[in-house]
């Protein structure tokens, strides 16, 4: 990101902010969509984050830190955006949407659905570290720096999130095995 542009925005230059917003929109949207999993929500979160960036830009002391700082503002907006949605799935509401599928037997489409459901059961903290790690390809150390968290917290969140997603896939696989067994008994 052009640091001069950031400095000009800090001085209240709206034209500079418009240029910065156009350059930054795809980057922020990418992460918002990764975390929220919904295009409309991600658009709303990105736009709200940009307004927050404008409002708080003068509080950013080091323009070189703009990248991580803007992600942190986006994270807060994603939290708020998810809470505002009345139909936002909580862990208890997310029953199997379709007939359970085996983990590897039914190919990539089933796998995608299962991963999506597993991902939606995660907290926003866990989704954020997974998104930065696997969508943006950051190392855990970079994630820690980006989110201003201790390294150990990032490692434990990554581990817990991966474990939770694996548990969903395994539970689906068990359900399928049980369903098949019941079907065989009926036959």
Partner 1 sequence: MNDEQRLEAWFSEREVAPKNVRAGVALVMTHVRKTRQQGRWLPLPLHRPKAPVPSATDTIEYPPSAIPATEGQIPIVIGRTHPMFSPAKAITAAALVFGIGGVMLIAQPFDQQGSAPGAPADAVAPTRVTGEIGWASSCTGPDTVVDGDVTHQWNYDCSPQTWTASDPRLSGQVVARWNNDAYLVDGRYIVVNTSLDIVTNDAGGWVCTSTGLYEGPVLGGEVALGDMATDCVGQGGYEGLSAVFVRSMPPGGSSEEFVGLIFSGDRPPLPEPPAAG
Contact with partner 1 (CB under 8 A): which of 135, 139, 174, 177?
A: 135
Binding of partner 1 at residue 37 (CB under 8 A)?
yes
Helix (H, G, I), strand (E, B) or coil at 59: helix
Token code pair at residue 102: 């085996």
Provide the 8-state DSSP code for 131.
I
| Cβ proximity to partner 1, 109 vs 181, nearer residue | 109
Contacts (CB under 8 A) with partner 1, residues 38-67 = 39, 42-43, 46-47, 50-51, 54-59, 61-64
In whole angstroms, the minimum distance from the beta carbon of 174 to partner 1 comes to 17
- The backbone region for 38, taken as left when phi is positive above 0, alpha when psi lies in -120 to 50, beta otherwise, is beta
| Structural contact between residues 35 and 130, judged by C-beta atoms closer than 8 angstroms | no
Instruction: List Cα–Cα distances, 162 to 30, 68, 134, 156, 185, in angstroms.
Output: 21, 24, 11, 10, 35
| Structural contact between residues 131 and 35, judged by C-beta atoms closer than 8 angstroms | yes
| Cβ proximity to partner 1, 160 vs 175, nearer residue | 160
Contact with partner 1 (CB under 8 A): which of 33, 41, 45, 146?
A: 33
Binding of partner 1 at residue 26 (CB under 8 A)?
yes
Dihedral of the alpha carbons of 176, 179, 181, 182, in degrees to the nearest 10:
180
Q: By rule CB under 8 A, what string of x and - marks binding of each residue 112-131 to partner 1?
A: x--xx----xxxxxx---xx
Give the binding-site size for partner 1 (rule: CB under 8 A). 60
In whole angstroms, the minimum distance from the beta carbon of 59 to partner 1 comes to 5
72 HSE (CA, 13 A, CB side): 15
Backbone angles phi, psi at 42, to 5 degrees: -65, -40
List interacting residues with partner 1 (CB under 8 A).
3, 7, 10, 12, 14, 17-18, 21-22, 25-26, 29-30, 33-34, 37, 39, 42-43, 46-47, 50-51, 54-59, 61-64, 90-92, 108, 111-112, 115-116, 121-126, 130-131, 134-135, 137, 153, 156, 160, 162-166
């Amino acid at each position: 990101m052009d640091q001069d542009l950031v400095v000009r925005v800090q001085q209240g230059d709206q034209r500079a902010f418009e240029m910065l917003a156009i350059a930054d929109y795809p980057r922020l949207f990418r992460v918002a969509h990764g975390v929220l999993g919904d295009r409309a929500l991600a658009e709303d979160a990105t736009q709200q984050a940009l307004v927050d960036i404008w409002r708080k830009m003068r509080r950013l002391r080091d323009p070189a830190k703009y990248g991580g700082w803007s992600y942190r503002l986006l994270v807060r907006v994603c939290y708020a955006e998810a809470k505002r949605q009345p139909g936002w799935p909580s862990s208890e509401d997310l029953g199997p949407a379709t007939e359970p599928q085996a983990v590897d037997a039914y190919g990539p489409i089933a796998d995608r659905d299962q991963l999506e459901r597993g991902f939606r059961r995660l907290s926003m903290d866990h989704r954020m570290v997974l998104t930065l790690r696997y969508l943006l390809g950051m190392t855990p150390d970079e994630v820690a720096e980006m989110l201003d968290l201790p390294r150990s917290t990032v490692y434990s969140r990554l581990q817990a999130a991966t474990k939770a997603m694996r548990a969903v896939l395994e539970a689906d696989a068990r359900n399928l095995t049980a369903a098949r067994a019941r079907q065989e008994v009926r036959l």
